[in-house]
Copies of this chain bind each other. A is one copy, B any other.
């Protein structure tokens, strides 16, 4: 919560002037334009409202905001979270470059969650109405859109599996492996990366307390599975962590 209240620093304007288009974007083989030829990609480009910056801790949209746009992440990281009537928060996901946000709003024309930037980030605003018009003209785009929505469903089913029947160690291992493979898909190291979220956020996402996360970090470090320096993480024994995440191996006790 407190992250949201902090002072928001604007980004330098130089970034904004930078040529931004799907064709030039390093994410275009992961993002919505995946598989489109240059001409179709340009058509998609043309409907994109603007590239919008979101400073760390700033909110991109909030629950119940009217739904007009999907957002593709160009740069940075976000978290999506919900509140229940009692005011308790649940983080439903962490998003990174190339991922699409806002699809949960299509059914009711209202956003169902809040989205906040975990670091200074940049998104492409995609007016959904105009995207729908393109669907009729670019079948490939429609198919890919369906794949992305389907992927989102799968992603959340995996989260249910995690929350529903994994023990703490397994959840944390699954969390690390998930990040690892997503960084790998983006061409980054799969064994060495920075956590963009706080321990509290991790705990919230995994259905555990911040103290439990802290203990898990220590435990994995002591086992020699993990190198930890603040939020800088190294998977020293990815095979072991993967096996733990998959449930084919259990965690040695303290």
- Which positions in A face B, CB cutoff 8 Å? 82, 84-92, 103-108, 112-113, 132, 135-136, 139, 142-143, 146-154, 156-161, 163-166, 204-207, 246-248
Contact = CB atoms under 8 A, between A and B. Distances in A.
26 contacts: A84-B247, A85-B246, A86-B248, A88-B247, A90-B160, A90-B165, A92-B157, A92-B160, A103-B149, A104-B150, A104-B157, A105-B150, A106-B149, A107-B147, A107-B154, A108-B154, A112-B157, A135-B135, A136-B139, A149-B149, A149-B153, A153-B153, A156-B157, A160-B160, A160-B163, A163-B164
Per assembly, the copies of the chain total 2
A206 B87 CA distance: 21
Given A92-B157, A164-B207, 11 more contacts: A103-B150, A104-B153, A106-B146, A136-B136, A149-B149, A159-B160, A160-B160, A163-B163, A163-B207, A164-B204, A165-B207
A246 B82 CA distance: 13
A91 B163 CA distance: 12
